[in-house]
């Protein structure tokens, strides 16, 4: 159970780090009259844009893999038909 907790915490920390790196989250602080406040802003438009970009790239990888597989299958069929 302890290992699962550690894995979940590390996963959340990794997602948060990636989010800050990609610009999905912004953290800001303000201080006035001996009072401090912190704000975390989530840029949902940026998240959705990056999500769509990732989907498009995966589509490209999928298409390239299908083409390569078809090419290998054609070569294998040619070898079978040779006397």
pLDDT at 6 (0 to 100): 96
Domain match, 17 and 53 both: no
Same domain, 31 and 53: no
Output the 3-class SS for 17-47. HHHHHHCCEEEEEEEECCEEEEEEEECHHHH
**Do 23 and 53 lie in a common domain?**
no
Same structural domain for residues 20 and 36? Answer: yes
Number of domains composing the chain: 2
Query: What's the CA gap between 80 and 76, in Å, rounded?
Result: 6
Domain that holds residue 31: 1-42
Q: How far from 39 is each of 13, 47, 60, 65, CA to CA, in Å? A: 18, 18, 38, 44
49 and 19 both lie in a single domain: no
State how far the alpha carbon of 64 is from the alpha carbons of 29, 53, 58, 60, 67, in Å.
46, 17, 10, 6, 5
- Considering the domain architecture, whether residues 78 and 67 belong to the same structural domain is answered as yes
- Which pLDDT score is estimated for 47? 92
pLDDT, position 17: 92
Supply the pLDDT for residue 70: 84
Q: pLDDT truncated to tens, each residue of the chain (83 aa)?
A: 899 999 999 999 999 899 999 999 888 999 888 888 999 999 999 999 999 999 999 999 999 898 888 888 877 777 776 66
* Residues 49 and 64 reside in one and the same domain: yes
Q: Are residues 63 and 26 in the same domain?
A: no
């Amino acid at each position: 159970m302890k290992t699962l907790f550690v894995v979940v915490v590390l996963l959340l920390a990794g997602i948060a780090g990636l989010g800050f790196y990609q610009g999905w989250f912004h953290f800001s602080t303000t201080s006035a009259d001996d009072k401090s406040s912190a704000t975390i802003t989530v840029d949902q438009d940026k998240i959705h844009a990056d999500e769509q970009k990732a989907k498009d790239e995966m589509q490209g990888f999928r298409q390239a893999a299908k083409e390569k597989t078809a090419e290998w299958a054609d070569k294998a069929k040619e070898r079978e038909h040779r006397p």
